[in-house]
Structure 1
Amino acid sequence: MDTQLDYFVVENHCMELRGIYPGDVIGVQKFNDEFTLDDTDENSVMLIFLNDDNFHGNKIRVRGNAESDGTYSTYYFENDGSKHFSTNRHKAADIRGVVVEVNHLN
């Protein structure tokens, strides 16, 4: 494991099509002055912090388009493999980093 990454255990099936499964440990490179959201592309798997009425914590989503208002669309995959766009777009400040390592422990 890389000491420069933050690690999280995946609890969901929403990234199985991207090779990330429940129980996997993902390594996330957090954004800082030298590594920013601009260094990622539209297909990067992002760590997003949510704090709303429905959820409080981190989720992983695939980065979609940058919108004109400075937010980003994101998506995940349903159990049938279909792409599902997140209900709300995310502010750049809520996108905390990008998944750069996946450890399959199961």
Structure 2
Amino acid sequence: QESADVKSTYWLSTALVDSALTGLTAVELRDQLQRHRIQTRRLWQPMHQSPAHRGCQSILTGVADRLFETALSFPSSPNLTPDSLERIHETLRQLLPVRARSAA
């Protein structure tokens, strides 16, 4: 919930993909959505995985790796039309089993 003096830009809409519920990994869902011309992206690669930072001292908890593996960022833009949002929603309804939709 937003405070009265703050307005969210809703810049990035991200969902965690539970493969036990969906039967798909985040990458598989991304590929399915791409076939429907819906572009999604994985979250940013954790810094400790990048070649420039590999081997650097870090404190790892597994959270960044887990988010990178399971999260998908969906189209989000001030120019996204209601029709586009509805198309994304309907495509997800077609691709995801009922048990995954009801868990959200």
The two structures have a TM-score, normalised by structure 1, of 0.26
Q: Which has the higher helix share?
A: 2
Highest RCO, 1 vs 2 (Cα 8 Å, sep ≥ 6): 2
TM-score (norm 2): 0.26
Q: Greater CA radius of gyration, 1 or 2?
A: 2
As a proportion of its length, which structure holds more strand? 1
